[in-house]
Amino acid sequence: MMKKIFLALFVAATFSQASAQNVNIRDAFREMPDSLMPYLSKNNRLDFIDFLDSGMKAEVKNQLGGTSQMLSIADDSLTIQMNPSLRVHMLAIDSVVAVVETFLVDSIYGESRVHYYSANWHPIAQPELSAAQQQRIRRLELQNIVKRDDDLLKKR
């Protein structure tokens, strides 16, 4: 009897852990509340995914009348150039969605903010992330700033 209870608890824990780790960035992006990314409507977000999946340039008119472009999408991440001064990366890390917003200006400095959410878009103050996961987020922050510097140097 004790073995059956232990086995049932083990199986339940395994399934709950597996489901918590299976955040799909496409699904999370589709269900993202408009209030968290007011630049884009739900239709814009769906169009981005459809365009990239069809091999087309994923560019839409955003809610402010400008153009936003999804640069890439994978199972665990996506990148959007919201406008020339704002790039957004979203990462699915275990049961957490990390949103890295990098504000770029016409100088060598940029500034990034990272927001963490549950898979159903509830804010998380500070999730427990491994050193490798934290490093991945930090690398994205720096990558955006370096990319902007390269673009500025090419224009000169």
Predicted confidence (pLDDT) per residue in 55-98, tens digit: 999 999 999 999 999 999 998 999 999 998 899 999 999 889 99
129 pLDDT above the threshold of 90: no
pTM: 0.75
Q: DSSP character for 129?
A: -
Strand pairing category for 58-61 and 123-124: unpaired
Cβ pair 121, 32 in contact under 8 A: yes
pLDDT at 139: 82
DSSP 18-73: HHHH---HHHHHHT--GGGSTTS-HHHHHHHHHHHHTTS-EEEE-TTSSEEEEEEE
Residue 13 identity: A
Range with the lowest mean pLDDT among 38-42, 63-67, 90-94, 136-140? 136-140
| Between 152 and 98, the higher pLDDT residue | 98
pLDDT at 30: 93
